[in-house]
Amino acid sequence: MGREFVDIFDEWADSYEASVSGEDPEYRDVFEGYENILDAVTKRVSGTIVEFGTGTGNLTAKLIEAGISVIGIEPNTKMRQATAMRFPFMKVLDGDLLQFEAETESIDAFVSTYVFHHLTDSEKGEALKKYAVLLPTNGKVVFADTAFISEDAKQAQIVKERARGFHHVADDLEREYYTTIPILTKLFNEAGFQVQFTQMNDFVWLMDAIK
C-alpha cells in the first residue's frame, strides 16, 4: 500500500541531485527554492523526528545540522543506501508513510518533503490518524509537497505543462495522487490536527500541523 511509485526512484536516484538543483528544465519550477523549502521544514521541528522518503538525504542533512535526532524511513533500496552512506551513524529503515517501525519510544514530529503525494487521499487520512496516535499533544506533522488550491488549478497546471512540452511533469501530475488544499485541510482536521499552509513555489505547499 502506497508503494506503487517506489521503483520509479531506481532510475531517478542517480540523477536526482541534478533535478533538485534545477538542471532538469522540466522540474525546475517544482524544485524552485528547494533549499528554502528544506529549511522551512527544519525550523518547525525539534527533538526526535521520523523523516519519510529521505531520498538522497538532503532534508536529513539540514535536520541533523540543526541538532535534531532523525530516524529515516525509505522504501527504495537505492535511496535508502544513499542516505545511509551519507549518514552512517543514523538509522535508515525500510518502510513507508503507512507501514513503518520507528524503533523508538517517543516521536516529537513526522516530516517529509516531496513524498506525501504517493498516498491516495484515503491513505493520506489513514496515515495522519496513525501519526496522531503516535504523537504527544503538541506533536507535529510538517510536510512539504505539491498540492493545488483546487482541482481546476491542478488541471490548468497539467495543460500548461503539456503546452510547454513538459510531458514528464504532466504525466507525473496525472499518475500520482496530488491533491488539493481543501482536501488536505479536511484530512488533517479529521485526524485531530490544526494545520496551516504556506505556498513555497508554483507547486509546493508547506503543511505545518500540530496535534
Amino acid type, 51 = E
Binding range to ligand SAM, per CB under 6 A, among 113-121, 163-171, 178-186, 195-203: 113-121
- CA distance linking residue 99 with residue 130, whole number of Å: 10
- CA distance linking residue 75 with residue 100, whole number of Å: 10
Instruction: Report if residue 75 touches ligand SAM, rule: CB under 6 A.
Output: yes
Residue from 114, 131, 143, 178 binding ligand SAM (CB under 6 A): 114
Instruction: Report if residue 113 touches ligand SAM, rule: CB under 6 A.
Output: yes
Where on the phi/psi map is residue 52: left (φ > 0), alpha (ψ -120 to 50), or beta? beta
Instruction: Report if residue 59 touches ligand SAM, rule: CB under 6 A.
Output: yes
For the annotated binding site for S-adenosyl-L-methionine, the residues are: 53, 74, 96
Task: Say whether 46 sits in a helix, a strand or coil.
Answer: coil
Instruction: Report if residue 55 touches ligand SAM, rule: CB under 6 A.
Output: yes
Grid coordinates belonging to 102 = 520507528
Instruction: Report if residue 5 touches ligand SAM, rule: CB under 6 A.
Output: yes
Kindly give the pairing relationship between strand 109-113 and strand 194-199.
Answer: unpaired
Instruction: Report if residue 45 touches ligand SAM, rule: CB under 6 A.
Output: no
Instruction: Report if residue 178 touches ligand SAM, rule: CB under 6 A.
Output: no
Where on the phi/psi map is residue 151: left (φ > 0), alpha (ψ -120 to 50), or beta? alpha
Our CB check for ligand SAM shows the closer of 146 and 157 to be 146
Instruction: Report if residue 79 touches ligand SAM, rule: CB under 6 A.
Output: yes
Task: Say whether 208 sits in a helix, a strand or coil.
Answer: strand
Grid coordinates belonging to 18 = 541534478
For the annotated binding site, the residues are: 53, 74, 96
Binding range to ligand SAM, per CB under 6 A, among 42-50, 68-76, 163-171, 183-191: 68-76
Q: How many CB atoms lie within 10 A of CB 173?
A: 21
Binding range to ligand SAM, per CB under 6 A, among 73-81, 169-177, 185-193, 201-209: 73-81
Q: What are the b/e assignments for 16-29, b being 16+ CB within 10 Å?
A: beebbeeebebbeb
Instruction: Report if residue 58 touches ligand SAM, rule: CB under 6 A.
Output: yes
- Binding region for ligand SAM (CB under 6 A): 2-3, 5-6, 9, 20, 52-55, 58-59, 74-76, 79, 96-97, 113-115, 118
